[in-house]
């Protein structure tokens, strides 16, 4: 099962005041899930020193998958040309399409709409996690 962590939720996992949702997500990653990282999102996460350390630990434990920046960038360019996204996060949607990750942890409502849009992400459709434990039981990564 794979998921994508949007940078706007990093503080809930890596910050001094971890939230219940953030702890659940991290526990899920450590037990069942896998975080996918690549493209611009990988660069954004690397700017947060706590996130970078945890991502390195997750990668060492086989709980994070690094995807080629070039592959993500090519998909991002293709998505941008379609002009169907509501969000300014084509890099996140591209990562989901390339990796088949179908769980997104984010607070960006426009990105939620893109992630749930069957014309953009399908087979299976994407789901947005914001603390619901039932989403973390889905098969979200082939």
- Between vectors from CA 121 to CA 62 and to CA 110, what angle results, nearest 5°? 100
The Cα 47–Cα 1 span in angstroms is: 25
Residue 125 confidence (pLDDT): 86
Q: Which pLDDT belongs to residue 36?
A: 97
Q: Which residue has the tokens 């399908």?
A: 122
Give the start-end residues of each E strand in 1-142: 2-5, 34-38, 64-67, 103-105, 127-129
pLDDT of residue 15: 72
pLDDT at residue 132 in the model: 74
User: Which residues make Cβ contacts (< 8 Å) with residue 134, sequence separation at least 6?
Assistant: none
Q: What SS3 class is residue 102?
A: coil
Q: pLDDT tens per residue, the chain (142 residues)?
A: 799 999 999 889 887 778 999 999 998 988 889 999 999 999 998 898 888 888 899 999 999 999 999 999 999 999 999 899 999 999 999 999 999 999 999 999 999 999 999 999 988 889 999 887 676 666 556 6
Cβ–Cβ contacts within 10 Å for residue 57, how many? Answer: 12
Q: Bridge partners of 104?
A: 4, 128
Instruction: State pTM to two decimals.
Output: 0.91
Q: Write down the pLDDT at residue 78.
A: 94
Please, what are the domains in the chain?
2-133 (3.40.50.1010)
């Amino acid at each position: 099962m794979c998921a994508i962590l949007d940078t706007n939720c990093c503080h809930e996992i890596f910050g001094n005041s971890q939230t219940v949702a953030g702890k659940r997500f991290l526990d899920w990653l450590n037990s069942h899930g896998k975080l996918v990282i690549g493209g611009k999102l990988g660069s954004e996460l690397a700017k947060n020193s706590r996130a970078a350390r945890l991502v390195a630990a997750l990668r060492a434990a086989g709980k994070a998958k690094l995807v080629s920046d070039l592959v993500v960038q090519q998909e991002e360019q293709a998505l941008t040309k379609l002009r169907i996204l509501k969000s300014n996060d084509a890099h996140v949607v591209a990562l989901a399409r390339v990796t088949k990750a179908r769980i997104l942890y984010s607070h960006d409502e426009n990105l939620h709409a893109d992630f749930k849009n069957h014309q953009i992400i399908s087979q299976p459709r994407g789901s947005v996690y914001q603390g619901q434990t039932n989403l973390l039981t889905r098969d979200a990564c082939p």
